[in-house]
Structure 1
Amino acid sequence: MPVVVDIDVMMARRKMSVGELADRIGITPTNLAVLKNGRAKAVRFTTLDALCEVLECQPGDLLRWVPED
């Protein structure tokens, strides 16, 4: 998939666990793991907004497009 999810990078920079982030943005740790590992087919803007607010970042810090070979 050409869209790469870098949530784990921002979590590491903020020294935040999956459980803590999931609790603060209001989703289950399982659903956050699906999103974090790039297995989600979609992301709600409300979830993206909450991620950016809690991690103090921009959407481009969490998602990036990489062309396929």
Structure 2
Amino acid sequence: MPIVVNLDVMMAKRKMRSKVLAEKLGVTEANLSILKTGKAKAVRFSTLENLCEILECQPGDLLEYQE
């Protein structure tokens, strides 16, 4: 998969647990896990925006393209 999700890396840098992030994001921990593992087929821009706001980062900090 050429798009790598670095959500777990950013969460570790911000010392944020999955449960807390899921609550702030308004999703279940199961759905957050799907996103963290890169198994999500799509991400809404609104979700990406909320993640960036909560984690105080840029979209490029969370998503990376690898050939």
Q: Would the TM-score normalized by the shorter structure come out above 0.5?
A: yes
CA deviations on 1:2-60 (whole Å, 9 max, x unpaired) are 00000000000000010100101111110000000000000011110110000000000
TM-score (norm 1): 0.95
Percent identity at matched positions? 61
Cα RMSD (Å) of the superposition? 0.4
Q: CA deviation at 1:62?
A: 0.1
Corresponding position: 1:9 with 2:23: no
Computing the radius of gyration over CA atoms, which structure comes out larger, 1 or 2?
1
Which one-letter code corresponds to 1:40 in the other structure? A
- Equivalence for 1:57: 57
Which stretches in structure 2 are left out of the alignment for 5+ residues? none
- Aligned partner of 1:34 in structure 2 is 34
What TM-score results when the alignment is normalised by the length of structure 2? Answer: 0.98
